[in-house]
Amino acid sequence: MLYVFGGSKTKSRTKMRTTLTALEKRAPLAHTLRVTNEEIESTDIEKLLAAQGLFYSKRIVVFDNVLKEKNAQKILLPYMEVLARSEHVFLVLEEELSADLKKQLVAHATKAIISDEGEKQAKSGPDWAVTNALEKKDSKGLWLAIVRSLLEGAPPEQVHGQLFWKAKQILLAGRLHIWSHDSIRKLIAELAELPHEARRRGMEMKYALERFALTIQ
């Protein structure tokens, strides 16, 4: 996932810190790393992208105003699309953005918050990433989409409702080229039971949703 913050120094840094705090609360065992302008040229981006075992063991990387120089841009910008697709989370903070640099960053961002003269402009990922991943039976993609939706403020009940609706649509529309008739009926039953199971376990719904995503096979 790739989050981009830019523009107003005070607002963009505050928003970045708020997002970072939320991420660290959700993944307290994640390794957080800050890369500065002085460190970017010696940073191995490929190593940062390397997996850490199970895909839900995250690394959080903050690139703090690293794109001021052309050499730094040549190092990092080619990786924007890969960073956005990664299971790890990357936060790019650039308080001074040229129009061209802003365009490149926003084009690939999972979410971008750019403050221009006090105005906040936000670009979010696809609204139906959660349901699309479910239909594709993509466990990793579903987990990432759920985490992103929750981080962006979607109520867990809304995310659950989207999943339940999509499962029923797959069955009713007969789109059974990935899911079998029996497996989709089982999925609908599991989704119907999920809120009740979460309450019995004393588990917050948002964590129950993430746990559910990991069971998709």
Whether 67 and 73 have beta carbons less than 8 Å apart is answered as: yes
What pLDDT score was predicted for residue 55?
Answer: 43
Does 136 lie in the same domain as 105? Answer: no
Does 95 lie in the same domain as 139? Answer: no
Does 109 lie in the same domain as 204? Answer: no
What pLDDT score was predicted for residue 11?
Answer: 82
Distance between CA atoms of residues 65 and 113, nearest Å: 15
- Domain boundary among the residues 123, 156, 171 is at 123
What pLDDT score was predicted for residue 51?
Answer: 60
Does 116 lie in the same domain as 148? Answer: no
Whether 35 and 61 have beta carbons less than 8 Å apart is answered as: yes
HSE (side-chain half, CA atoms, 13 Å) at 162:
20
HSE (side-chain half, CA atoms, 13 Å) at 133:
25
Does 141 lie in the same domain as 106? Answer: no
Does 205 lie in the same domain as 115? Answer: no
Other Cβ atoms less than 10 A from the Cβ of 203: the count is 13
Distance between CA atoms of residues 184 and 179, nearest Å: 6
- 72, amino acid identity: A
What pLDDT score was predicted for residue 116?
Answer: 62
pTM over 0.85: no
- Domain boundary among the residues 91, 106, 123 is at 123
Q: Which residues of the chain have pLDDT under 70?
A: 51-57, 116-127
- Domain boundary among the residues 63, 89, 123 is at 123
What is the tally of structural domains in the chain?
2
